[in-house]
Amino acid sequence: MKSNQLILASLAGLLFISPARAAEDTATNSAGPAQQITPANSAEAAEIEALRQEVRELSQKVQNLEQERQGEQSASASTNQDQLQALDQKVRILSRERELDQEAAVAAAKTQPKLTLNASGFTIASADTNFVVGLHGVLQTDSRSFINDGGGTLGKNTFLVRRARPILSGTVFKNFDFNFTPDFGGSGVVIYDAYLNYHYNPALQLEAGRFKSPVGLESLQSDPWVLFNERSIATDLVPNRDIGVELHGDLFGGAISYAAGIFNGAPDYSTPTAPAQDVNDNRAFAGRLFFQPWKASKIASLQGLGFGVGASYESDRGTAADLTAGYKTDGQQTFFSYAGTIANGTHWRISPQAYYYYGPLSLQAEYVISDQEVTRTAAPLTSADLQNTAWEITGGWVLTGENATYNGVTPKHPFDPKAGQWGAWQVVARYGELDIDNAAFTPLSPFAAAGSASAAQAWSAGINWYLNRDIRVNASFSRTTFSRGSLGTTPVTAQPENVIFTRIQLAF
């Protein structure tokens, strides 16, 4: 563009310069005495005219070139605009295709099962979570070391697999929960839990099968979260697992929990190795009410307070199977049992109970009465209404500051030495007593087996190390003393029991 303008300017200059020069020459010639047009002047004028024509032609060419250039630029601009529009259209198409792919992926994801593996176990769930299957487990490897055990007459120092339970649980058709829990930890395989639970909503649920009877506070606490290796002697007086049907639920966001059921009827803390059977066509009724009125309160110091009562009632007629196989110490030695006696009448229990959790502090207490009518099977054939009682209180403090709960402790900093993290540490203590009705030791017509103690007092202290949510290591010491009955002693009841416990636990 600029070169064309320079050419035009130069040609225009020539157009103006040539006439000026010609006029100058004409003026000079006219200044003479005679003004004559010579052939030289005529030739020069023709030359100027020729230059003018050449300038006009060049100017026309420049104009033509300018027009061509403008046409090319206009065509180029139009082409570029078309290309931009085409590219924009392609981008829009690709963007929409991506949106469609994403929508298809989301739609496909909604129909795909979900696999989850975390600290709570392995879970497979349908996309709508109406079907869920979870695999969990509990493994407890213990040691018991008896001190001053009279040369091994009191208890055997041993390592043992206390519990080895694969747990299969889940949900089918949205509202039906199930649980199947065998145990491989003893001398044989035993089914601990096997039940189906229909949860219409949290406040209304119906459970059927084999599960824990709703009476004792410590008994209902899940095995991995009991603070010591073994439950207290107060738990000796409550029923364990039983077969039956139970209506239960949580009201007002858990402020009130209830359970009421009909069962076969289990002896005091019966072991699952000898499951309770319906041997007399009578049913046992058991229920529990538990209150946490400040669970949703803004007052943190009251949120962890809970209290309630559990109870059961049954009528046992003429069988020894309805009596306990024996009350056991912390070291799992029998210190009381019946002999020549059958259950023959009503059997009721009541257990007021409470717990309190606030920050690292945990407290738990319960009192149990077990009242049972019994009859001797040997002369003299007498009967009695025996009322045995027990109580316990357990406390703990998490040294590392984590919150203590009824369902254990979750470390803020799971064990990782490379990162300088050591998990959570908790100190625990417990005291409990169990007292047998004196009528069981009547010299002429005793109901107790020879050598049974009339009472036991046990205290324990220990430390729990939570490496993470799934792994815990325990160490504790327990001492149990006995009040002698009138029927002599056994090696167990003749002297106090002193036991050191350890445990390595995996629970997920």
Task: Clarify whether residues 92 and 146 are in a common domain.
Answer: no
Residues 166 and 184: their CA atoms lie apart, in Å, by: 9
One-letter amino acid for residue 131 of the chain = F
Q: What is the predicted pLDDT for the residue at 153?
A: 60
DSSP 8-class letter at 185? S
- CA-wise closest residue to 457 among 476, 472, 477, 435: 435
Give the tens place of pLDDT for each residue, 341-353: 999 999 999 999 9
pTM to 2 decimals? 0.78
Task: Clarify whether residues 338 and 447 are in a common domain.
Answer: yes
Residues 268 and 271: their CA atoms lie apart, in Å, by: 9
Q: What is the CA radius of gyration of the chain?
A: 49
Residue 116 lies in a domain: no
Task: Clarify whether residues 71 and 197 are in a common domain.
Answer: no
Task: Clarify whether residues 328 and 474 are in a common domain.
Answer: yes
Give the tens place of pLDDT for each residue, 228-256: 999 999 999 999 999 999 999 999 999 99
Residue 99 lies in a domain: yes
Residue 487 lies in a domain: yes
Residues 12 and 501: their CA atoms lie apart, in Å, by: 117
Domain of residue 464, CATH code: 2.40.160.10
Residues 467 and 463: their CA atoms lie apart, in Å, by: 13
Residue 117 lies in a domain: no
Residue 63 lies in a domain: yes
Q: What is the predicted pLDDT for the residue at 418?
A: 95
Residue 460 lies in a domain: yes
Picking from 90, 107, 124, the residue at the C-terminal end of a domain is: 107
How many domains does the structure of the chain reveal?
2
- CA-wise closest residue to 390 among 339, 329, 461: 329
Give 261: exposed, middle or buried? Use CB within 10 Å, 0-12, 13-18, 19+: buried
Whole-Å CA distances, 193 to 135, 244, 463: 14, 12, 29
Picking from 107, 123, 146, the residue at the C-terminal end of a domain is: 107
Task: Clarify whether residues 151 and 275 are in a common domain.
Answer: yes
Task: Clarify whether residues 448 and 380 are in a common domain.
Answer: yes
Task: Clarify whether residues 165 and 66 are in a common domain.
Answer: no
**Half-sphere exposure (Cβ direction) of 198: Cα atoms closer than 13 Å:** 6
Residue 177 lies in a domain: yes
Q: What is the predicted pLDDT for the residue at 25?
A: 44
The parent domain of residue 36 ranges over 2-107
Residues 291 and 299: their CA atoms lie apart, in Å, by: 16
One-letter amino acid for residue 463 of the chain = I
Residue 126 lies in a domain: no
Could you tell me if 351 and 370 are in contact, meaning their C-beta atoms sit under 8 angstroms apart? no
Task: Clarify whether residues 191 and 67 are in a common domain.
Answer: no
Task: Clarify whether residues 96 and 200 are in a common domain.
Answer: no
Residues 137 and 381: their CA atoms lie apart, in Å, by: 49
> How many CB atoms lie under 10 A from the CB of residue 415?
16
Residue corresponding to tokens 């966001």 = 253
Give the tens place of pLDDT for each residue, 356-372: 999 999 999 999 999 99
Task: Clarify whether residues 73 and 202 are in a common domain.
Answer: no
Report, as ranges of residue numbers, the positions in the chain whose pLDDT lies below 70.
1-40, 74-77, 149-153, 271-281
Beta bridge partners of 361: 358, 397
Task: Clarify whether residues 35 and 150 are in a common domain.
Answer: no
Task: Clarify whether residues 65 and 155 are in a common domain.
Answer: no
Q: What is the predicted pLDDT for the residue at 186?
A: 80
